[in-house]
Chain A
Amino acid sequence: MFPTPIAKTSRSWQVTYQTLLPIALVLWLLPLIAVAVFSVKPAGDFSNGNYWGLPTSFDFAANYGRVFFDSDMPRYLLNSVFITVPTVIGAVALSSMTGFALGIYRFRMNLLVFFMFVAGNFVPFQILMVPVRDLTLNLGLYNTKTGLVLFHIAFQTGFCTLFMRNFIRALPYELIEAARVEGVAEWRIYWFVVLPLMKPAIAALAVLIFTFIWNDYFWAIVLTQGIESQPVTAGITSFNAQYRAAYNLMSAGSIVAALPPVAMFFAMQKHFIAGLTLGAVK
């Protein structure tokens, strides 16, 4: 193990390390801690210039209550859910199929198709912006959640295919050969042999795509514009315009907007990290 395990080092370094850890963490998260403190302060503290002193009262319930009951935030959060969840399902479903095709079969165009997915996944959003917006307008889906979902599914399929294909490549190929010898139809091999083995990959992709899509801002402002369809990342700017200079409410709103992916991460940490490393670093 590198660096040298702390248990094998001198007593003084052990103590230093143990004290250094929390200090480093607080410094690292300082901007976030500041926002968390802001979000429980009463509005009066900001008008009195008491930005960094102790809160004169603990207004957690009041501030977050206003975010939930006195603003459009719940609507935006709901929109985000209705955009994110179908995208996750769609992208995972499509890519489990493409990944299966590219991971199991050998055919001439295999690598070409695979590289198309990978390369497409890396292109700058701006080169897609004008035509995709146009396409969405022509389909009558501009400013709808469906329009956003369809694009997200298509784009995320690139990344998911990369991941799924590499995962399936690593599965023991004998399993498939054995099934073929038994005369199992190809689609049954997909459904009954490969899909059950892909559960970890599916879990990893699901949390990862959830986070990506929840946090998307660019496509939200390109393809939607009103409260009926905008996700929370775009909605927060109108929220902030509504509560201009009410830093306690803006902070509370930001924390609420950021929370779902954070909760997702803490709940499914192992899968999340497996996804981030593209399954390449074990």
Chain B
Amino acid sequence: MADTSLPLPQNPTPRRSWYKRNEIAVTPWLFLAPGVVFFAFYVVFPIFQSINISFYQWDGLGKAQFIGLSNYEELYWDDAFYVSLRNNVIWLVLYLLAIPAGLFIALFLNQTVTGIRLYKSLFFFPFVISQVVVGLVFTWFYDPTFGLLNQIIGVFGLGPINVLGDERYVTYGIIAAGLWPQTAYCMILYLTGLNAVDPEQIEAGRLDGARGWKMLWFIIVPQLKPATFIAFVVTIIGALRSFDLISIMTNGGPFGESRVLSFYMFEVALSEYGLRMGYGAAIAVILFLIMLLFIGYFLWSMYQDDKAAR
């Protein structure tokens, strides 16, 4: 593929005539070469290497030993794997709440009053902050002794609850923290989308007596389809990539109840619990296959759009 056109001719004089004749055909590959080579070495090849490693037993230093499907067989009997998988599903489903929540806030803020621009920026604020800081902030927010959450529910005579120390609540607590920046992201997508909504269609809808929810559902939401698609893509990817928050807030605990596949993989392969690269790679492959379903769908949608655009 690209590798054949690797050497970038800084000075194409020696083969000038050949290059001139084939300029249109060769130029794109010259421009692609550095990017493609980089991407191939750091992203494309590693995917296949990981799949390969998942058939080995390897501590990352010594010699790898081929063990066939044993890693996958072990996964099949591993309770921690199922806990992680279950949590991944919970993450996926609940994370999607960011889309309607973002739409709701966007509708709330889609006005022209003094200072609204600043309001929009401040609402978007959580997305710009690193997940590490979001994790720390929410860890303190949930703290059973002084956290703001328990102060608030204390007013109603409830609590105190130790959200991050209780295996029943921990995953939901972390997801809530993750929804905070994700909702902000969806909000900004919808705010830009709402700008592009056709005012004539709204007027026409008003004349036909559509208002409130009906207007929103039948006239506004269909026009927001591009925004919804991007919101869907980034939310799904975000949910399956969740790692930072779990690592910062609970480190997988209590009793591994807040693990997801991405975190469990890291724990198995590269933490104090061991250096089981092969087993970790097997977990990564499963996660990759789950993601592949969505990636396939996204690419297919993009392909359809692309065909229509021509």
Contact = CB atoms under 8 A, between A and B. Distances in A.
Interface of A: 1-3, 5-7, 17-18, 21, 24-25, 28-32, 34-35, 38, 49, 51-52, 94-95, 97-98, 100-102, 104-105, 107, 109-111, 113, 115-120, 122-135, 150-151, 153-155, 157-158, 161, 169, 185-187, 190, 211, 214-215, 217-218, 221-222, 233, 236-237, 240, 247, 250-251, 254-255, 257-258, 261-262, 264-266, 269, 273, 276-278, 280-282
Contacts of A258: 128-130, 133
Contact of A127 (B46, B111, B132, B199): B46
Q: Chain A binding site: helix, strand, loop or mixed by DSSP? A: helix
20 contacts: A18-B113, A21-B119, A25-B123, A32-B125, A32-B126, A34-B141, A110-B28, A120-B39, A126-B265, A129-B266, A130-B277, A150-B42, A151-B42, A154-B43, A186-B24, A211-B128, A215-B129, A217-B244, A236-B136, A273-B188
B133 A281 contact: no
B175 to A, nearest CB: 15
Interface of B: 1-2, 23-25, 27-29, 31-32, 34-36, 38-39, 41-47, 49-50, 53, 60, 107-108, 110-113, 119, 121-126, 128-133, 136-138, 140-141, 146, 148, 151, 180, 185, 188-189, 192-197, 199, 202, 215-216, 219-220, 226-227, 230, 237, 240-241, 243-244, 247-248, 261-262, 265-266, 269-270, 277, 280-281, 283-285, 287-288, 291, 294-295, 298-299, 302-303, 306, 309
Given A128-B42, A130-B60, A122 B291 contact: yes
Contact of A278 (B43, B119, B215, B230): B230
A97 B226 contact: no
Nearest to B228: A281
Given A100-B31, A122-B237, A127-B288, A266 B43 contact: no
Given A126-B266, A130-B280, A187-B27, A116 B113 contact: no
A124 B288 contact: yes
- Lowest 8 CB-CB distances: which A-B pairs, in order? A154-B42, A215-B130, A131-B46, A98-B35, A101-B31, A101-B28, A131-B49, A105-B28
Given A6-B113, A7-B112, A31-B148, A262 B197 contact: no
Q: Chain B binding site: helix, strand, loop or mixed by DSSP? A: helix
Given A18-B113, A150-B42, A2 B215 contact: yes
A153 B37 CA distance: 12
A279 to B, nearest CB: 10
Contacts of A49: 146
A31 B285 CA distance: 36
B130 A113 contact: no
Nearest to A116: B44
B32 A119 contact: no
Given A34-B141, A127-B47, A107 B25 contact: yes
A276 B284 contact: no
B133 A257 contact: yes
Nearest to A189: B27
B28, B113, B151 — which one has the most chain A CB atoms within 10 A of its CB? Answer: B28
Given A128-B46, A257-B130, A31 B291 contact: no
Given A122-B298, A129-B269, A254 B194 contact: no
Given A130-B50, A281-B192, A215 B113 contact: no
Contact of B130 (A119, A123, A124, A233): A233
A135 B42 contact: yes
Contact of A34 (B47, B140, B270): B140
Contact of A116 (B31, B39, B126, B265): B39
A2 B141 contact: no
Nearest to B38: A154
B35 A265 contact: no
Nearest to B299: A115
Contact of A105 (B24, B39, B284): B24
B68 to A, nearest CB: 18
